[in-house]
Amino acid sequence: MNRNKRVFLWIVGLVMVALLFFCFQNNAIGITEHEIALKRLPVSFDGYKILQISDLHNKWFGVSQKRLMAKIDKIEFDIIVITGDIGDARRYDDEPIHSLIEQLVPLAPVYYVTGNHESDIDGYDALEAYMTSQGVRVLRNEYEILKKDGAEIIIAGIDDPTMHTGTGFESALLKLSLNETYFKILLSHRPEKMALYSTLNYDLVFSGHAHGGQIRMPFIGGVIAPHQGFFPKYFEGVHVEGETYMVISRGLGNSLFPLRVFNRPELVVVTLNSTD
């Protein structure tokens, strides 16, 4: 074999390895589990499990979302929360969303809030009507009471600020925070608003939006996130400020930046622990 052929084979081999690597990084779903000890959580909710799904961006994970559902089927949970950007406004397709929702609804109660992409989706009203028709609780600046063994906590959901609903993001957050005696879970797409959630004394917030910083580097963390720019503070994991915990999902899909590196799609499972 002459030198040119050897070089060509090396290049083909390297390209194939790179393609396999990037395919794995963008499609192999991981499950991240967190246990959080929460001072104000009623004892009845000790061990309560919440599955968080975020930022699907109408991505397919196999035919009929088979690979995603295979992962979810391995997890135990009491409720499912979906923290926005379920569709992608740049290339909206409702079929991956419908396929997922139809399979989630029989498993547990599903709560959903909008992300910034929902505000740009043509036909968002149809999406919301579909969600509601399937039994998904769409929380648009409102809350529900969760009950367990005689105890009650609040699950509230806030519209993404880009939805421009009602009196605005901060006023709506303030209004939802006023039931001071209740332990309060908040679903909000935006992690960068953590200072506000903490000021308003939400107990536990679920957010997404940051896509894990797209590229995760050792010692550096996430490289870029929307509304935070380069080297974002809030890109994954559990954060605590004051009395408020916030869980950030790295999400499942991509949007403008089409690649994840060392940042696989993620399902998050949170177990609530009472400190009493």
In the complex with Fe ion, the residue whose CB is nearer, 68 or 248, is 248
Closest CA to 155 of 85, 106, 204: 204
User: For residue 204, what is the enclosing H or E element?
Assistant: strand 204-207
What is the sign of the dihedral through the CA atoms of 207, 209, 211 and 217? negative
Under rule CB under 5 A, which residues in 165-184 are in contact with Fe ion?
Answer: none
How many of the chain's residues bind Fe ion (CB under 5 A)?
A: 4
Least separation in angstroms between CB 268 and Fe ion: 16
Residue 126 near residue 95, CB atoms below 8 Å: no
- SS3 at position 126: helix
Burial class of residue 152 in the structure, from the number of CB atoms within 10 Å of its CB (0-12 exposed, 13-18 middle, 19+ buried)? middle
In the complex with Fe ion, the residue whose CB is nearer, 86 or 101, is 86
In the complex with Fe ion, the residue whose CB is nearer, 42 or 251, is 251
115 is a contact residue toward Fe ion (CB under 5 A): yes
In the complex with Fe ion, the residue whose CB is nearer, 46 or 88, is 88
Instruction: Name the region of 216 (left: φ>0; alpha: ψ -120 to 50; beta: rest).
Output: beta
Buried residues in 88-97 as b, exposed as e (16+ CB within 10 A): bbeebebebb
Least separation in angstroms between CB 226 and Fe ion: 6
- What is the distance in angstroms between the CA of the first residue and the CA of the last residue of the chain? 73
209 is a contact residue toward Fe ion (CB under 5 A): yes
Least separation in angstroms between CB 273 and Fe ion: 29
Residues with Cβ < 8 Å from 219, sequence gap 6 or more? none
Least separation in angstroms between CB 211 and Fe ion: 8
Give the one residue of 65, 116, 188, 228 binding Fe ion; rule: CB under 5 A.
Answer: 116
228 is a contact residue toward Fe ion (CB under 5 A): no
Under rule CB under 5 A, which residues in 72-101 are in contact with Fe ion?
Answer: 85
In the complex with Fe ion, the residue whose CB is nearer, 228 or 274, is 228
In the complex with Fe ion, the residue whose CB is nearer, 114 or 177, is 114
Distance CA 263, CA 251 (A): 10
Least separation in angstroms between CB 42 and Fe ion: 32
Least separation in angstroms between CB 160 and Fe ion: 7
190 is a contact residue toward Fe ion (CB under 5 A): no
Burial class of residue 5 in the structure, from the number of CB atoms within 10 Å of its CB (0-12 exposed, 13-18 middle, 19+ buried)? exposed
Under rule CB under 5 A, which residues in 15-54 are in contact with Fe ion?
Answer: none
193 is a contact residue toward Fe ion (CB under 5 A): no
In the complex with Fe ion, the residue whose CB is nearer, 88 or 203, is 88
Determine the interface stretch with Fe ion among 20-28, 75-83, 174-182, 204-212 (rule: CB under 5 A).
204-212
Which residues in this chain contact Fe ion in the complex, by CB under 5 A? 85, 115-116, 209
